[in-house]
Amino acid sequence: MQALWMVLAAFFFATMAVGIKVAASSFSLAELVFYRGLVSVIFMALVLRARGTKLATPVPLMHAWRAVIGVFSLASWFYAIAHLPLATAMTLNYMSGVWVAAFVIGGALLYGQSSRQGPLMATVLLSFAGVVMMLRPTLDQNQLFAGLVGLLSGMGAAMAYMQVTALGKVGEPEGRTVFYFALSTALAGVLGVLWVGFTPWDQVTWQAAAWLIPIGVLASLGQWAMTRAFSRGATLLVANLQYAGIVFAALYSLVLFDDRIPLLGWVGMALIVASGIAATVLRTRALPDTPAEQH
């Protein structure tokens, strides 16, 4: 029952992605990153204060590295959401589990243990075959670059995922990890806005403006629900339920944005999900204490 918190988290993240897609019609990428971070900072500061969690951290450098790779992943994902069908962008970002498997294989090759990684290597190859199938229908729409950026967002998420693991192992509270990531996101957004400037409000639609606060709140709620799921539910089940986010995104794509993804794209999407689940199962058998990724 506790694993269902991951389904709720997936719903929050998919709904946040809807907000990003709508708001991207009026705001620049830098502005979206800034507003997402600012609202999350305020939200998480209130949560930490209510819980009595101190903001001071004994591992600032670990948070700094998590911030660098996390902001890169987030900005890449936002760009993909703005330029790709929502379901496609969501699927590419959820390839983080496959990227972790690829990192495991890379480590095995480095230490001469590749013979044990055959099944895991197969899942990675199948997943990238799914990427080719999913992005091929978008080539005629000049969306290949956005697809590659989306693919990088998944790789960045995998690296952030591993850093969150390290922070958890040194005893850093999840709320504080979320807070510092939100803070770094807001700061990165400020730097970007100083470069490109703010969009004049007379050029902003009310639909886009209405999503600015929900984007940050939904991101924080998603992280919160995800953390609760992994702390109280069965790790393997929770890790696989995260792919419900792709289902929610696909429904949003069809209903809200009238996206038309060809059959080959749907097959590629299904192949990526199946490969991700298989990679999660194989990794969990070898590494049973696999924690959650945070967006």
- pLDDT class of 184 with cuts at 50, 70, 90: very high
- Residue 171 pLDDT greater than 90, yes or no: no
- Which has the higher per-residue pLDDT, 194 or 235? 194
pLDDT tens digit sequence for 116-164: 567 777 877 787 788 777 776 555 556 778 888 998 998 888 788 778 7
Half-sphere exposure of 184 (CA within 13 A, CB side): 23
- The mean pLDDT value for 12-35 works out to 95
For 261-295, what is each residue's pLDDT tens digit? 788 888 888 888 888 788 777 766 655 444 444 45
Give residue 7's identity as a one-letter amino acid code: V
Residues 6+ apart with CB under 8 A from 123: 98, 101, 275, 276, 278, 279, 282
CA distances from 50 to 46, 54, 172, 251 (A): 6, 11, 18, 36
User: Cα(158)–Cα(88) distance, rounded to whole angstroms?
Assistant: 18
Q: 231-268, pLDDT tens digit by residue?
A: 555 556 666 777 888 889 989 998 998 887 788 888 88
- Domain boundaries along the sequence of the chain: 4-286
| pLDDT at res. 185 | 94
Among 7-11, 198-202, 241-245, the range scoring the smallest mean pLDDT is 241-245
Return d(Cα 152, Cα 144) in angstroms, integer. 13
